[in-house]
């Protein structure tokens, strides 16, 4: 019995040293069970968008999607200044831009939506809500070329082929380059959230209605007659 407790004590000491290495030497990177990293992982799994009112300010930062991902991963979350209840949840992060300048921002974490809004301008955390009008421009997608699921609907597939889209990754590239979410025609707060994307190209303009299903953004319709946006 004494030998058992001695081994248990040595195991406890080794486990404690391991925790010290994780927290002091590696900080919280790679530890998905920590609250901060769980929040970040949940956000990164979504499409991060910036409202049209702030897209100019975001572009002025001069950061790429890869750099934004890194900034989020290396930022610290102030849980005391975050909204951890309600819909959507919203978290205040503090990090650094590639030039070393401090950067504070807010990221929303809706329960029933595949999008997270990035907010730059100072905003009271309690006032943060999902946008219901205007445009939302995507600035970061998860690393998944097949994020958009075209499905088997013959009509949708036929319409996509007329504009030269045969694979989901082609659609993703178009949305990254020329797409935005029309909030007024989207429903982000219902149990069956839907997202109205407009792909505005010089040669053609079309819209797709999508839903979030099993970690995929599934197409439910495609239309070449894009309705006028609500002011």
Sign of the torsion angle spanned by Cα atoms 78, 120, 133, 143: negative
Q: How far apart are the C-alpha atoms of 91 and 40, rounded to whole Å?
A: 10
Mean pLDDT of 204-220: 89
For residues 56-76, average pLDDT:
96
With a cut of 60, say whether residue 231 has pLDDT above it.
no
Mean pLDDT of 61-80: 96
Q: What is the mean pLDDT of residues 105-133?
A: 91
Taking the C-alpha atoms of residue 137 and residue 157, their distance in angstroms, rounded to an integer, is 25
Across the chain, mean pLDDT equals 85
The answer to whether 63 and 118 are in contact (CB under 8 A) is no
Helices (DSSP H) in the chain: which residue ranges?
2-20, 35-44, 55-60, 65-74, 154-162, 168-178
* pTM summary value: 0.82
Residue 70 has what pLDDT? 96
Q: What is the pLDDT of residue 226?
A: 67
pLDDT at residue 212, as a whole number: 85
Domain boundaries, the chain: 1-30, 35-140, 148-223
Q: pLDDT-derived band of residue 204, with 50, 70 and 90 as boundaries?
A: confident
Percent over 90 (pLDDT), the chain: 63
Do 113 and 171 contact (CB within 8 A), yes or no?
Answer: no
**Sheet-wide strand order for 102-109:** 76-83, 89-96, 102-109, 115-119, 47-51, 135-140, 179-182, 194-200, 205-213, 216-223, 148-149
Mean pLDDT across 154-166? 93
């Amino acid at each position: 019995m004494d030998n058992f407790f001695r081994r248990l004590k040595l195991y406890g000491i080794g486990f404690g040293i391991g925790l010290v290495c994780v927290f002091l030497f590696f900080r919280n990177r790679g530890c998905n069970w920590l609250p901060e990293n769980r929040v970040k992982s949940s956000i990164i799994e979504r499409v991060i968008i910036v409202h049209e009112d702030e897209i100019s300010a975001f572009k002025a930062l001069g950061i790429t999607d890869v750099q934004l991902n890194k900034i989020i991963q290396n930022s610290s979350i102030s849980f005391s200044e975050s909204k951890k209840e309600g819909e959507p949840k919203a978290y205040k992060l503090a990090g650094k831009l590639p030039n070393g300048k401090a950067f504070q921002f807010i990221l929303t974490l809706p329960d029933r939506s595949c999008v997270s809004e990035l907010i730059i301008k100072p905003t009271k955390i309690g006032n943060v809500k999902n946008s219901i009008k205007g445009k939302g421009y995507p600035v970061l997608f998860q690393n998944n070329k097949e994020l958009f699921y075209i499905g088997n609907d013959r009509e949708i597939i036929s319409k996509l082929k007329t504009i030269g889209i045969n694979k989901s990754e082609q659609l993703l590239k178009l949305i990254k380059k020329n797409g935005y979410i029309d909030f007024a025609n989207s429903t982000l707060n219902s149990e069956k959230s839907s997202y109205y994307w407009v792909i505005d190209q010089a040669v053609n303009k079309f819209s797709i209605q999508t839903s979030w299903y099993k970690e995929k953004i599934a197409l439910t319709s495609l239309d070449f007659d894009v309705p006028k946006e609500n002011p």
